[in-house]
Amino acid sequence: MVAKAQAYDELYERLDSKEGVKDLYRLAKQRDRAGKDVQQVRLIKDREGNVLVSEQRVLSRWKEYFEELMNEENERERRTTGGEIVDQEVQRISKVEVRAALKRMKNGKAVGPDDIPVEVWRCLGEKAVDFLTRFFNKILESERMPDEWRSSVLVPIFKNKGDVQSCSNYRGIKLMSHTMKVWERIVEARLRQFGFMPRKSTTDAIFALRVLVEKYTEGQKELHCVFVDLEKYREGQKELHCVFMDLEKAYDRVPREELWYCMRKSGVAEKYVRVVQDMYEDSETVVRCAVGVTNGFKVTVGLHQGSAFSPFLFAMVMERLTDEVRQEAPWTMMFADDIVICGE
């Protein structure tokens, strides 16, 4: 592990130089080429590791894998209590909110089943803002979005590690309606008022961890890391223990009952809880791969992969479910599905 860290340091120093600019472009091209090559993968393996040749069997395997993953029930007992309900009146959606949500959307993104890109709304200018404001207020009032938004297209994306023919080495990204994503961003912006910090990244957590480690090493204290093979820093009177955790397929395995519970525990108005519940009701998807498109199937577990709203919802779940852990441990740092727990 020490050798790996040293190799990374040397790589960063080289990339930071003038000569490193060419290396940077070369690495970027290699990564882009690797992603393109994966799109040409037409043969995959079944559960037993046998290579499937028939297009129909390949499609069946993709459907089988993602259908099981996205409907996998947690072994723990389901939560029956939903938390304290907050009956709070919510304001109507304004044109300012719609403009802000449209501004946050990126151009050139793959469209969902409706084939309507966000660029269409941008081209219509204020007419689109007027229409969407009325439209979203109807959804907010009825707590029911269009049924067409419940369908998505799931595209397997290779993780750039492991066997390229193994389904487990792919992450499923859902292509959803862009108009639904605008709706998600409006709801997300409103939920952020409940105390969550936007525009944070792993850099913030890494910086905090480095400061913590430096304080201990400066004081001639010992550092222990679990799951990371690091040697002890220095002998001292106290020890700092760090546990690094990476939750596997975290988004796909979030029980939705836990999401509703965590939203209520965070003090979110029940109106918004019902709105988010509606986003996940009767959701279904198909898998699109190199050989075609599978039959559709229901998705009953987990958050929507590819949704701009999901990272925020996942952060809310982790924040609430780890309350007790963070009270016991002196320092706990979390970003998405990466967790570091530190203690003496």
SS3 240: strand
Question: Side-chain half-sphere of 171: how many Cα atoms within 13 Å?
Answer: 13
272 with 90: CB under 8 angstroms?
Answer: yes
Handedness of CA 260, 261, 266, 271 (dihedral sign): positive
Please report, as a single letter, which amino acid is at residue 127. Answer: K
Contacts of 136 (CB under 8 A, 6+ apart): 93, 98, 182, 183, 186
pTM: 0.72
**CA proximity to 62, closest of 196, 153, 140, 193:** 153
Please report, as a single letter, which amino acid is at residue 180. Answer: M
**CA proximity to 43, closest of 289, 219, 257, 258:** 289
Q: Which residues of 238-249 are buried (b: 16+ CB within 10 A; e: fewer)?
A: eebebbeeeeeb
What is the chain's pLDDT, residue by residue, as a tens digit (344 residues)?
555 566 666 666 666 666 666 666 666 665 554 454 455 788 999 999 999 999 999 999 999 999 999 998 766 656 656 678 888 889 999 999 999 999 999 999 999 999 999 999 999 999 999 999 999 999 999 999 999 999 999 999 998 888 999 999 998 999 999 999 999 999 999 998 755 544 444 445 455 555 545 554 555 444 444 443 333 434 455 666 677 666 666 677 888 998 999 999 888 999 999 999 999 999 999 999 999 999 999 999 989 988 889 988 988 888 787 766 656 555 566 655 566 666 66
Token pair belonging to 327: 């009270």
Phi and psi at 164, nearest 5°, equal: -70, -15
The pLDDT tens digits of the residues spanning 19-77 come to 666 666 666 665 554 454 455 788 999 999 999 999 999 999 999 999 999 998 766 65
> d(Cα 39, Cα 34) in Å, to the nearest integer?
9
